[in-house]
C-alpha cells in the first residue's frame, strides 16, 4: 500500500526566536504524545533576518522548559522556497501574514498562509499571538498558553482529515 505523504507545517513569526520556535516545540510535543511524528514535517522561520543561526530567546527557552519543552531550533529566515516545501504556513500576527502573502510566488502559494489565531478555541479574546519580545514573564506564558490551545486544535483538525 502507498504511504501517505507527511503534512508539512511551517510556523512563522518576525524574529523566529520567540513565538514560532515555541509553536514548533509545542506542536512537536503534541505529535510525540500522539505517536504522530512520522506523519508530519515541522519547522519554523522568521520574516526578519536579525537573529539567523541563534537559538530561541533565553526567556522563551526557560518558560518552555518549565512546561517540559526543549527548544533547540536555530533561527532562519523564511524564503520563497518554503512555499514549495510546506503545505501550511502559519503566521502569528497580521504583520507576519501580510509579509508572507507578499512573498508568496503565486495565488495558490498564498492560499497556504493562515493565521495561528484561526485555530484558537471559540471564545478566545485573541486574534493573534502577541509579540512577547518587549514584555515580561506574563507575555511568554500567554504565548505558550495560546500556542498550546491553537496547536492542539490544529492537530485535531489535521488528524480528522479536514482540509485547511
Cell numbers found for residue 88: 501550511
| Residue 104 near ligand 4NP by CB under 6 A | no
Buried b / exposed e over 64-91, threshold 16 CB at 10 Å, is beeeebebebebbbbeeebbeebeebbb
Residue 93 contacts residue 130 (beta carbons within 8 Å): yes
Active-site residue, from 43, 57, 93, 131: 131
Q: Judged by CB, which is closer to ligand 4NP: 16, or 148? A: 16
* 31-60 residues near ligand 4NP, rule: CB under 6 A: 50
In which order are the strands placed within the sheet that holds 40-46? Answer: 40-46, 7-13, 88-91, 113-115
- Out of 9, 10, 11, 16, the only residue in the binding site for ligand 4NP (CB under 6 A) is 16
Q: How far is the CB of 90 from ligand 4NP (least distance, A)?
A: 13
| Residue 147 near ligand 4NP by CB under 6 A | no
Is residue 13 annotated as a catalytic residue, yes or no? Answer: yes
* 110-129 residues near ligand 4NP, rule: CB under 6 A: none
Active-site residue, from 18, 19, 28, 93: 19
Please enumerate in sequence order all residues whose Cβ is within 8 A of that of 106, keeping only pairs 6 or more positions apart, or say none: 83
| Catalytically annotated residues | 13, 19, 131
List of residues contacting ligand 4NP (CB under 6 A): 13-19, 50, 131, 133
Amino acid at each position: 500500500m502507498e504511504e501517505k505523504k507527511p503534512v508539512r507545517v511551517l510556523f512563522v513569526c518576525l524574529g523566529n526566536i520567540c513565538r514560532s520556535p515555541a509553536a514548533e516545540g509545542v506542536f512537536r510535543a503534541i505529535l510525540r504524545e500522539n505517536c504522530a511524528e512520522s506523519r508530519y514535517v515541522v519547522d519554523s522561520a522568521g520574516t526578519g533576518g536579525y537573529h539567523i543561526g541563534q537559538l530561541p530567546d533565553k526567556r522563551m527557552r526557560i518558560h518552555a522548559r518549565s512546561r517540559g519543552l526543549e527548544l533547540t531550533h536555530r533561527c532562519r529566515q523564511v524564503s520563497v522556497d518554503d512555499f514549495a516545501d510546506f503545505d501550511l504556513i502559519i503566521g502569528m500576527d497580521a504583520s507576519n501574514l501580510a509579509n508572507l502573502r507578499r512573498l508568496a510566488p503565486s495565488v495558490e502559494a498564498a492560499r497556504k498562509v493562515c493565521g495561528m489565531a484561526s485555530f484558537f478555541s471559540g471564545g478566545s479574546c485573541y486574534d493573534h499571538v502577541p509579540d512577547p519580545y518587549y514584555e515580561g514573564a506574563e507575555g511568554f506564558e500567554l504565548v505558550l498558553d495560546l500556542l498550546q490551545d491553537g496547536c492542539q486544535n490544529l492537530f485535531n483538525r489535521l488528524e480528522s482529515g479536514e482540509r485547511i
